Structure 1
Amino acid sequence: MSVVSAVKSFLAQKFWRPVADESVYYNPFNTAVYSLAFAAAAAYIGKPLLEKLDVELNRKFFLSIAPYIFLGGAARSLKDANIVNTILLETPFIYLMLFGFTTAVLLGSLKIEEYSSLSYSKVFGSIGLISLIAVLSAYSYPNPLVFVETGLIFAPLAFLSIYGPRVLGSDIDTYSFGIPVSAHFFDASTSFVALSRGAAEKHVLANYFIDLMGPAGMFVMKALIVIPAVYIICMDMEGDERRYYLFLIAVLGFALGTRNIISAAVVG
């Protein structure tokens, strides 16, 4: 086999098959590449774009972009439920589509603010909320107890994530630390419920912890990885840089968790 053929075969097996065939899970190669691509896009595209647009990373921005975070997970579940069967809802295409849509709406909202009295955040947030409701309305929910089970697990973890540092006497900002950590405990909670109902985990690192400890391994993995990462960012970064990277961590947790909980409630 020639070098070119070997490379083509490797790319097909490690990158294309996991996208085209849902029975093939993630592997260390595509996981590493997607992670690096996400990090590079965050550092060299997302952050400079917001700076160029002069968008302040304040409460108004975070509230208005929140629907788009959940929209990504909700849209991804359309394929799990066989409502929309397209490869575009698979990684990495779903990320590219959502980034393009969100950026286009943000640009349009800023332009509307420029020529009217409407705040960009109201326009941006409203379009995101309408889009999220439209996607959620496409589902029926035969397993509504999934939401109750997830809530019972997640609520105390969220409380501890936000108020735990204060109880321990830390001077770290409770919400800066607690929200991104809570986002990943939300993902862990939804994964735990879905796995307990017979779902399969596709991610490499998560599968390692699940093989060791069962579904509860998701919580251990999140605690070992996310808590130190968030703590370091909180302590070593300031201002918009800190807010931006904490926001990205929260996005990953909430988006993945949304896909999990909807798919578990819809598919079972």
Structure 2
Amino acid sequence: DKFVNPLCNYYTLEATIAYGLILVVAVLGIYKLLQKLNVKIDKNFFIALIPFIIFGGWTRALRDHALYEGWWWCSPPIYFMIFAITFLTLLGAIYLDRKFKIPYHKTAFVVGIVLLLYNLTLTQITNLFAVQMILGITAGWGILFYIIHRMKPKLLSLENTAIMLAHLLDASATYTALTYFGYYEQHVLPRFLITMFGPLVMFPLKIIVVGVVLYFLDKEEDKFLRNFLKIIVLILGLALGIRDLLTVSML
């Protein structure tokens, strides 16, 4: 009951710990597998993944509006589903690349776009205020971070700016949903902090936590490991941000 029943509504502490451990094991497994397959973590890898990151968050938003049915479309089970789809697509794309010289990132990207087009047929944006609010706040942070990047490029790279903005999209969507539309936070730690300090706490929380993580990742000498972990950090922010943005936008 502490694991399955709350999934579509909130997370328990037990479920948070359990799924966190599963995430760690999954990340380690993927890391080892990508090394074995000799897949570079570069621009092409990102191009291959980006539609599936969007698909994961988008599909979860559609589940919030009962357009996908079943507890396995709630988070975090949905992300295991998306992982399986992404993983099988990448394996197939890599096979075609090595067998027929078809660039794997192009094959994976096209498959991802097809999935996004299906979700598009189920989606109707009705809450334009929420869209404008969330994207406006995120754009404001983007302008601020770009100015910082221009003034201090060694302090904040464009790569890290993109990762920070993915998480601030999530923070902006959470703030808007909780402040204006009566939503509540599902995750244990943010829910506790929001109860204590209000929805605005999501912004310093994201900036501090993600900023510290990126600071230490930039010190990692292993480029493959550094880029791989940055992709994971990006996924955790962007998938949730898209889910929250679309959930409140389809009210």
Structure 1 CA distance, aligned partners of 2:64 and 2:47?
Answer: 28
Work out which of the residue numbers 177, 183, 207 in structure 2 matches 1:194.
Answer: 177
Q: Which residue of 1 aligns with 2:95?
A: 111
Whether contact under 8 Å (1:81, 1:263) holds in the other structure is yes
Work out which of the residue numbers 151, 162, 176 in structure 1 matches 2:159.
Answer: 176
* Structure 1 alignment gaps of length 5 or more: 1-11
Shift of 1:213: 2.4
| Matched residue SS, 2:92 | helix
Root mean square deviation, CA, Å:
1.8
Change (3 A) 1:88 1:16: closer
Shift of 1:187: 0.7
Q: In the alignment, is residue 219 of structure 1 matched against residue 207 of structure 2?
A: no
Whether contact under 8 Å (1:165, 1:172) holds in the other structure is yes
Shift of 1:173: 6.0
Whether contact under 8 Å (1:172, 1:234) holds in the other structure is no
Deviations 1:223-268 (A, max 9, x none): 22111111111123431111110110010000001110111011x3
Task: With the length of structure 2 as denominator, give the TM-score of the two structures.
Answer: 0.92
Work out which of the residue numbers 4, 8, 17 in structure 1 matches 2:5.
Answer: 17
Work out which of the residue numbers 143, 162, 170 in structure 2 matches 1:159.
Answer: 143
Shift of 1:170: 5.9
Structure 1 CA distance, aligned partners of 2:172 and 2:55?
Answer: 19
Work out which of the residue numbers 33, 41, 60 in structure 2 matches 1:49.
Answer: 33
Shift of 1:162: 4.9
Q: Which residue of 2 aligns with 1:239?
A: 223
Whether contact under 8 Å (2:61, 2:246) holds in the other structure is yes
* Structure 2 alignment gaps of length 5 or more: none
Q: Which amino acid aligns with 2:249?
A: A
Work out which of the residue numbers 25, 43, 51 in structure 2 matches 1:40.
Answer: 25
Q: Which residue of 2 aligns with 1:254?
A: 238
| Matched residue SS, 1:153 | helix
Q: Which amino acid aligns with 2:3?
A: F
Structure 1 CA distance, aligned partners of 2:141 and 2:156?
Answer: 17
Q: Percent identity among equivalent residues?
A: 28
Shift of 1:113: 1.7
Deviations 1:191-239 (A, max 9, x none): 1121122211111111122112221111121122111111111123431
Larger radius of gyration: 1
Task: With the length of structure 1 as denominator, give the TM-score of the two structures.
Answer: 0.87
Q: Which amino acid aligns with 1:218?
A: M
Matches of residues 71-86 of structure 1 in structure 2 within 5 Å?
71-86=55-70
Whether contact under 8 Å (2:60, 2:75) holds in the other structure is no
Structure 2 CA distance, aligned partners of 1:109 and 1:170?
Answer: 36
Whether contact under 8 Å (2:148, 2:156) holds in the other structure is no
Whether contact under 8 Å (2:149, 2:158) holds in the other structure is no
Structure 2 CA distance, aligned partners of 1:231 and 1:243?
Answer: 13
Q: Which amino acid aligns with 2:56?
A: G
Change (3 A) 1:240 1:175: farther
